[in-house]
A and B are shown apart, each in its own frame.
Chain A
């Protein structure tokens, strides 16, 4: 059911399909760690097309392909290619489609991945399109929660920080609501979750402005970075950023089993001291990006059913 499938939006995946990806990702964990060798993707070529800089996502796709014995071609700096000479995205895609078996695309404009999927014969995986979708990130976020709690439904999940511009939280909020999580939103007033995202959620989320209101009974804290550029006044930034960051003091008030996630890179929204508490999951979360992407690649290429 996956062979040839495009993964453009998290909405393209039904719940059973997500579960299938998670099941395969679990089997991939030892391979992702290098403890076990399997060459499921030997002879396959991935085109990794990054029209916008990215480190984590690009490298984790590369790692995923390498670990499974496949090859990667592509670029991470479009200005060094013919793309900057005014070639259409459609043409670039048609060309790389001819050179590869699967395409991964990161692009600054919204809808670029859907366009790529229209023109490519091979499956296309969206690795982020502007403020739009970033489904593999959403999947690894949900996978991290499922690995921890065994389920998503009923968990109190607080998305915090910059909910307005932070792209990972948009598709995550929608997906979590459809998985019946109890979603809470915590952000400064100027960085609230956009209304159109809330409209797309299955259930109306609860909105807060103070960390104190949710600290004691949240199961999952999903922390995002508040960028300095969003604030014209640096002292205002310091004040706001301070009240949406997590310190060791906060951790003491959390539930024993509460976990803290972050899409990374983090700056100072999570105090480094928190890294050594049993609540920190952000590095594990980042690692899960590899087995999740391995699972997706193996499934859309049809080598695993």
Chain B
């Protein structure tokens, strides 16, 4: 079988975020802060065939991810793998890991939550469900799903 994604475009150096749940690719770009022209090639494929069903794929030239960004992706695309491409080849591949505790990367959606005041604390959530992501604010107890998370990413 030919790889339909590869047909689109090869990148020299950068990342391929693969196995994103269908429909979440734009949200992945959003949480990485890619909303306009970033000056390098970004390829997006939605609803492409994979071994077991359908997926979205995002490829970004000359961009790498730090831990924080990996955690953010894990929260909205827990099935994703991040491939690092150097000189046209995948050199490392890691599956994102949904953490047990989410600290400082999402703000609480509850406007009445103390974490939304000017207090010297980082918002903190417990991950209460990992297959369908749900996080719960350690302070006010509000639960948020991946839609809510995208809207409140820091």
Binding site for B on A (CB under 8 A): 9, 88-90, 107-112, 114-115, 118, 129-133, 196
Contact = CB atoms under 8 A, between A and B. Distances in A.
Given A114-B138, A118-B121, A89 B114 contact: yes
A109 B117 CA distance: 9
B interface, size bucket: 10 to 19
Contacts of A133: 141
B121 A90 contact: yes
Given A110-B139, A111-B140, A114-B138, A89 B113 contact: no
Nearest 7 CB-CB pairings of A with B: A111-B139, A110-B140, A111-B140, A111-B114, A112-B114, A109-B114, A114-B139
Nearest to B123: A111
B137 interface: yes
A130 B112 contact: yes
Given A88-B117, A111-B138, 7 more contacts: A108-B112, A110-B141, A111-B108, A115-B114, A115-B139, A118-B121, A196-B143
Interface string B114-138: 1101111100000000000000011
Given A89-B114, A130-B112, A196-B143, A111 B120 contact: no
Residue with the greatest number of chain B CB neighbours at <10 A, chosen from A107, A111, A130: A111
B50 interface: no
A133 B113 CA distance: 12
Contacts of B121: 90, 115, 118
B117 A89 contact: yes
Given A115-B139, A132-B141, A110 B112 contact: yes
Given A109-B113, A130-B112, A90 B119 contact: yes
23 contacts: A88-B117, A88-B120, A89-B117, A90-B120, A90-B121, A107-B114, A109-B114, A109-B117, A110-B110, A110-B113, A110-B139, A110-B140, A111-B115, A111-B141, A114-B114, A114-B140, A115-B114, A115-B119, A115-B121, A118-B121, A130-B140, A132-B141, A196-B143
A114 B117 CA distance: 14
